[in-house]
Amino acid sequence: MVSDQEASERILWEAYPSWGQFSWLYFLSLWTASRGAIFLYSEVPGWMMWMVGASFLVGVAVCLRYWAKYVISTRQVMIRNGYSGKTIRCASLNMIHAVEVTQGPFAKFLGIGTVVIQSHDSNRTLRFRGIKNPEIVGIKLRALLPTSSLVFTQAL
């Protein structure tokens, strides 16, 4: 049976990390596959293991992408396990005091970034890593927060 509090909570935004978050794994996979292709072209034994390794790296990237699911609801922000749906970390909206968007130069090029959510409890920091258009997510989240407790910061 669902309580009234759970029934009134709606999910406003949810996303997995962007594919660009794992670009380093794709690069490593491409490098591994190119070594396998060079070995195949040169008729050197062992080329197949390089191709298997490249396929394995792409599979790891796919598994890592769906490991965490980021959720903003009408009452709280959460990081959930993408496979089991269990909540890993959460913070109530009325306990959030700072929302920060960080992007490095390469992340900015890819259009991704990290939304850092700090709670009044110093031990509660949530990081939405690899989010596409993090500035927009930060603005949406700030709009949900009580203005008395919010500190606006944006780091580049």
The predicted model gives 30-56 an average pLDDT of 93
Q: What are phi and psi of 95, to 5 degrees?
A: -100, -5
DSSP string spanning 9-53?
Answer: --EEEEEPPPGGGGHHHHHHHHHHHHHHHHHHHTT-TTHHHHHHH
Q: What's the longest Cα–Cα distance across the chain?
A: 69
pLDDT at 66 over 60: yes
pLDDT at 69 over 60: yes
Average pLDDT, the chain: 88
- Let me know: does 11 contact 69? Beta carbons within 8 Å: no
CA distances from 6 to 1, 2, 26, 73 (A): 10, 6, 40, 11
Confidence class of residue 146 from pLDDT cuts 50, 70 and 90?
confident
- Let me know: does 21 contact 130? Beta carbons within 8 Å: yes
Q: Which pLDDT score is estimated for 4?
A: 54
The predicted model gives 67-89 an average pLDDT of 95
The predicted model gives 56-80 an average pLDDT of 94
- Let me know: does 19 contact 58? Beta carbons within 8 Å: no
At what angle are helices 47-65 and 23-41 packed, to 10 degrees?
A: 170
Closest CA to 62 of 30, 103, 126, 16: 16
Q: Nearest 5 degrees, angle CA 105-CA 111-CA 115?
A: 85
pLDDT at 100 over 90: yes
The predicted model gives 109-116 an average pLDDT of 95
